[in-house]
């Protein structure tokens, strides 16, 4: 009996450490890694969902206006916070490939340098972005009813960017090591805290959107501190020290080369959303509110694609680092099928229970009706994302960030923005002088279809196979 208990204890402990994905069944490796990651991403989304729920429910008649303010503030916020995401994506590739190659010296330096870069970027975002929040909101035609609330929300988020940045980088490091259970536990704890703080600041102290923003910042800082402690105690792989924080030109350059294009991709995406947001804002705050709460459901529908994209990246990075291209092909097929199943369940749930979910944020029936129309239009796009997300994750995990950057630019700038304004122009009416709100989601659907075809063609071309940063890479010419 003691042997059985000891064996179970060892298996339990193994869930809270780095996971070597270069051996064993690809399905087992990916499922063990991806499930906690998926639950963690759901918990992450509950941050913003809790904000929307509490703001919508506890601000009385101003609830819909406050939701509109948060919706207007988020795209420009994300445009600046994408810098942290870029560093995170770059360090995930480096950590996964160095871990797969068992190169622990470069592994430790990469982790230390990524933390330094985040601190530097945090200073920039705090000082620069927070000072221009107002002009940015004016630039995207934020409705007068929501302007001051949106400005307050943006400013507070920017002032607390150090917590957001560090958490993003540290969770990316753990993800590259194959560790997904510990971040999940951290998120579950901090999400509960975030909901309690939301209720306290918004409902208890009457602080409105400012209280929601402060609650988010506090919980992000706490998450970052806990993850930093976790990284610091992983002494079996590396010993985090002050020396590792000193910038090394070769490592910093590699993080920028790997993460920069991804940051540009996300910046392009958020810039396009911000550009489209200007059109949305011109349609009135009711439309902005409807799209804001739709995006809460929209985020859950896209969660599997985002989760399995990260899983594909870590699996690919570790196996390319170990020179196991055959396992990469197996993993690609496995990730796609898993992603498709989970996305189908999410989308079916939205279609069946969407009205009840939307009712958590508002009682206004016209807004709920509008939101459900958006969800139905976007349903095919969610399913297409399963394939593009998987292939993008594999390519980025292999070290190819340039190709996905150009594809993102094509999808979000060259296709989506012109289509959005074209559809809006063609659907103008006396009731909707700036066009039908449905044009926002119809354009997304069309651009997503074109982007899916282009992604498949680029992936089949196979140039991404030769982008590894480690020496054990042994590319195979045949496509997966």
DSSP string, 139-154: HTT--TTTHHHHHHHH
Residue 48 is assigned to a structural domain of this protein: yes
Compare 128 and 72 and report the one with higher pLDDT: 128
Secondary structure class of 468 (helix, strand, coil): coil
Structure tokens at 329: 């092909």
pLDDT at res. 391: 92
Calculate the CA dihedral of residues 426, 431, 434, 438 and round it to 10 degrees.
Answer: -60
**Could you identify the residue written with the tokens 């206004």?**
364
Under a CB-based contact definition with an 8 Å cutoff, are residues 134 and 150 in contact? Answer: no
User: CA-CA distance, 221 to 349, in Å (whole number)?
Assistant: 33
User: CA-CA distance, 380 to 434, in Å (whole number)?
Assistant: 26
Of the pLDDT bands very low, low, confident and very high (cuts 50, 70, 90), residue 41 is confident
**Could you identify the residue written with the tokens 């009813």?**
145
CA 63 to chain centroid, in Å, comes to 26
Query: Is it the case that residue 40 has pLDDT exceeding 80?
Result: no
Angle between helices 63-100 and 365-397 (to 10 degrees): 10
Under a CB-based contact definition with an 8 Å cutoff, are residues 81 and 164 in contact? Answer: yes
DSSP letters of 333-395?
A: HHHHHHHHHHHHHHHHHHHHHHHHHHTTT---HHHHHHHHHHHHHHHHHHHHHHHHHHHHHHH
Compare 451 and 58 and report the one with higher pLDDT: 451
DSSP letters of 176-204?
A: HTT--HHHHHHHHHHHHHHHHHHIIIIII
User: CA-CA distance, 227 to 164, in Å (whole number)?
Assistant: 12
The count of structural domains within the chain is 1
pLDDT at res. 433: 85
Residue 453 is assigned to a structural domain of this protein: yes
Query: Is it the case that residue 316 has pLDDT exceeding 80?
Result: yes
pLDDT at res. 60: 56
User: CA-CA distance, 376 to 299, in Å (whole number)?
Assistant: 14
Query: Is it the case that residue 175 has pLDDT exceeding 60?
Result: yes
Residue 279 is assigned to a structural domain of this protein: yes
Residue 20 is assigned to a structural domain of this protein: no
User: CA-CA distance, 221 to 164, in Å (whole number)?
Assistant: 7
pLDDT at res. 70: 78
Of the pLDDT bands very low, low, confident and very high (cuts 50, 70, 90), residue 58 is low
51-60, 76-85, 184-193, 274-283: range with lowest mean pLDDT: 51-60
Query: Is it the case that residue 5 has pLDDT exceeding 50?
Result: no
Average pLDDT for 185-205: 84
Average pLDDT for 402-417: 82
DSSP letters of 280-330?
A: HHHT-HHHHHHHHHHHHHHHHHHHHHHHHHHHHHHHHHHHHHTT-HHHHHH
What is the dihedral sign for C-alpha 176, 181, 186, 188? positive
Residue 419 is assigned to a structural domain of this protein: yes
Instruction: Summarize pLDDT for 421-436 with one digit per residue, the tens.
Output: 899 889 888 888 888 8
Average pLDDT for 372-378: 90
User: CA-CA distance, 374 to 442, in Å (whole number)?
Assistant: 9
Structure tokens at 260: 């920069």
Query: Is it the case that residue 63 has pLDDT exceeding 50?
Result: yes
Under a CB-based contact definition with an 8 Å cutoff, are residues 327 and 262 in contact? Answer: no
Tell me, what DSSP letter sits at residue 102? T
Residue 131 is assigned to a structural domain of this protein: yes
CA 385 to chain centroid, in Å, comes to 14
The phi and psi torsions of 295 (rounded to 5 degrees) equal: -65, -25
Residue 291 is assigned to a structural domain of this protein: yes
Q: Which residues contact 116 (CB under 8 A, 6 or more apart)?
A: 245, 246, 247
Of the pLDDT bands very low, low, confident and very high (cuts 50, 70, 90), residue 50 is low
Average pLDDT for 250-278: 79
Secondary structure class of 480 (helix, strand, coil): coil
Query: Is it the case that residue 3 has pLDDT exceeding 60?
Result: no
Query: Is it the case that residue 314 has pLDDT exceeding 50?
Result: yes
The phi and psi torsions of 364 (rounded to 5 degrees) equal: -75, 110
Among candidates 224, 233, 220, 219, which has minimal Cα distance to 177? 233
Query: Is it the case that residue 479 has pLDDT exceeding 70?
Result: no
Query: Is it the case that residue 141 has pLDDT exceeding 80?
Result: no
Query: Is it the case that residue 11 has pLDDT exceeding 50?
Result: no
Q: State how far the alpha carbon of 469 is from the alpha carbons of 99, 329, 397, 400, 480, in Å.
A: 12, 19, 11, 10, 21
Structure tokens at 475: 């590319």
| Residues spanned by the domain of 440 | 25-466
Calculate the CA dihedral of residues 101, 98, 85, 161 and round it to 10 degrees.
Answer: 140
User: CA-CA distance, 233 to 336, in Å (whole number)?
Assistant: 34
pLDDT at res. 156: 92
pLDDT at res. 46: 67
pLDDT at res. 59: 61
Compare 200 and 76 and report the one with higher pLDDT: 200
User: CA-CA distance, 3 to 395, in Å (whole number)?
Assistant: 43
What is the dihedral sign for C-alpha 83, 86, 91, 94? negative
CA angle (410 as vertex; 409, 414 as ends), nearest 5: 100
Instruction: Summarize pLDDT for 77-128 with one digit per residue, the tens.
Output: 877 887 888 888 888 888 888 888 888 888 888 888 999 999 998 998 888 8
Structure tokens at 185: 């536990």
Compare 67 and 339 and report the one with higher pLDDT: 339
Average pLDDT for 249-262: 85
Q: Over the chain, what is the mean pLDDT?
A: 82
pLDDT at res. 480: 39
Of the pLDDT bands very low, low, confident and very high (cuts 50, 70, 90), residue 390 is very high
Residue 375 is assigned to a structural domain of this protein: yes
User: CA-CA distance, 182 to 16, in Å (whole number)?
Assistant: 6
pLDDT at res. 477: 39
Structure tokens at 132: 């221009």
């Amino acid at each position: 009996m003691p042997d059985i208990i000891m064996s179970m204890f060892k298996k339990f402990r193994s869930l809270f450490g780095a996971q070597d994905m270069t051996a064993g069944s690809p399905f087992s490796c990916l499922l063990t890694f991806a499930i906690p990651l998926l639950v963690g991403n759901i918990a992450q989304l509950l941050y913003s969902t809790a904000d929307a729920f509490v703001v919508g429910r506890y601000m009385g008649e101003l609830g819909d206006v406050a939701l509109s303010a948060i919706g207007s503030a988020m795209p420009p916020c994300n445009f600046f916070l994408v810098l942290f995401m870029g560093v995170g994506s770059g360090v995930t590739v480096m950590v996964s490939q160095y871990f797969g190659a068992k190169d622990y010296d470069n592994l430790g330096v990469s982790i230390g340098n990524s933390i330094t870069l985040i601190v530097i970027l945090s200073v920039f975002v705090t000082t620069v972005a927070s000072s221009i929040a107002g002009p940015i909101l004016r630039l995207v035609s934020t409705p007068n009813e929501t302007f001051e609330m949106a400005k307050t929300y943006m400013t507070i988020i920017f002032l607390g960017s150090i917590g957001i940045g560090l958490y993003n980088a540290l969770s990316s490091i753990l993800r590259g090591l194959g560790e997904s259970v510990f971040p999940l536990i951290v998120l579950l704890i901090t999400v509960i805290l975030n909901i309690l703080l939301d209720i306290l600041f918004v409902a208890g102290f009457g602080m409105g959107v400012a209280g929601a923003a402060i609650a988010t910042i506090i919980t992000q800082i706490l998450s970052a501190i806990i993850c930093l402690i976790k990284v610091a105690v992983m002494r079996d792989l590396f010993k985090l020290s002050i020396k590792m924080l000193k910038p090394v030109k070769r490592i910093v350059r590699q993080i920028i080369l790997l993460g920069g294009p991804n940051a540009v991709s996300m910046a392009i995406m958020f810039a396009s959303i911000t550009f489209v947001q200007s059109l949305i804002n011109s349609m009135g705050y009711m439309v902005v509110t409807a799209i804001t709460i739709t995006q809460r459901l929209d985020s859950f529908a896209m969660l599997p694609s985002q989760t399995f994209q990260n899983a594909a990246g870590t699996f690919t990075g570790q196996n390319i680092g170990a020179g196991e291209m055959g396992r990469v092909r197996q993993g690609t097929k496995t990730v796609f099928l898993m992603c498709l199943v989970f996305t189908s369940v999410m989308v079916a749930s939205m279609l069946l229970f969407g009205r009840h979910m939307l009712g958590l944020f508002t009682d206004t029936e016209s807004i709920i009706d509008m939101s459900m129309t958006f969800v139905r239009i976007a349903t095919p796009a969610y399913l297409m994302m399963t394939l593009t997300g998987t292939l993008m994750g594999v390519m980025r995990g292999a070290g190819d960030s340039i190709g996905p950057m150009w594809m993102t630019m094509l999808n979000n700038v060259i296709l989506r923005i012109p289509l959005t304004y074209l559809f809006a122009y063609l659907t103008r009416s006396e009731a909707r002088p700036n066009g039908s709100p449905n044009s926002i989601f119809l354009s997304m659907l069309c651009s997503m279809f074109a982007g899916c075809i282009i992604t498949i063609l680029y992936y089949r071309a196979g140039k991404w196979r030769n982008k590894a940063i480690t020496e054990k890479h042994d590319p195979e010419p045949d496509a997966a």
